[in-house]
Amino acid sequence: MAASDQPDARPIGVFDSGIGGLTVVSALRRLLPNESIYYLGDTARLPYGGKSPATVQRYSLEIAALLLEQNAKTIVVACNTASALALPLLRETIPVAVTGMIAPGAQAATAATRNGHIGVIGTRATIKSGAYERALREQNAEVRVTARACPLLVPLIEEGWLESEITDKILMQYLQPLLDDGVDTLVLGCTHYPLLRPAISRLLGRAITLVDAAENCAAELRHLLEREGMNAPPEQMGQLQVALTDPPDSFLQIANEALQLEVGEIQLRQL
């Protein structure tokens, strides 16, 4: 892809299996305020975390095709499960650059760790794929990785139980073995999990460095846009359009309040 001197006003396409990927949108809005974003949440078929690799790949290709119909100049896979299982296929198949969640998170974690022992939490599918272990060891072959699936966290987040005694107890049930194992860095390997960052920080204290893959994905995308000459015009006020494949539930309001996003009228897109 050749870099261009001309600004590129086309939107960034972002997708997730649901609404959790709005954590990535929030990070993009902070870092790239003049970029327009078209976000597509596949709420009709969530969650992806329990689906087979072949199904996640098919869904990802279908959603990416809808983003290309919106003239997306690049696509962000704001879903760790789809990043783990479908990213190579997307990069082979579609004609624009694709940014996933795994590599940016791995780069930040290996830079942050002091003792070389990194914990990863995510959905069953993400953890089972081994994608974070591979990405972390590509960064540093000596790193030790302890990964843990946390399937109860997404339902708690979608209920809006971001600060509750029940959530704290379940978090510690998942996190205590990682602490006992000696991790000093924890990758939040699901786009829902940044909504629990305040609770996790409170429970773990300052000894554990939290790595939010959403923030690092946004930073990687900024570098891509600069490198390929695809930045929006500097005077442009970036717009956010959110589309879903099924009507939104109460989690959209929870996410909006937690992330302080201005989400206007929601489009419904049929697959």
Of 37, 63, 64, 79, the catalytic one is 79
Is the Cβ–Cβ distance between 104 and 42 less than 8 Å?
Answer: no
Bridge-based pairing state of the strands 117-122 and 98-99: unpaired
Q: How far, in Å, CA of 264 to CA of 196, rounded?
A: 24
Of 190, 218, 225, 232, the catalytic one is 190
79 is catalytic: yes
Q: How far, in Å, CA of 242 to CA of 231, rounded?
A: 21
CA 30 from centre of chain = 15
190 is catalytic: yes
Is the Cβ–Cβ distance between 57 and 85 less than 8 Å?
Answer: yes
| Nearest alpha-carbon partner for 88 in 75, 96, 101, 98 | 98
CA 160 from centre of chain = 19
Q: How far, in Å, CA of 190 to CA of 194, rounded?
A: 8
* Catalytic (active-site) positions: 79, 190
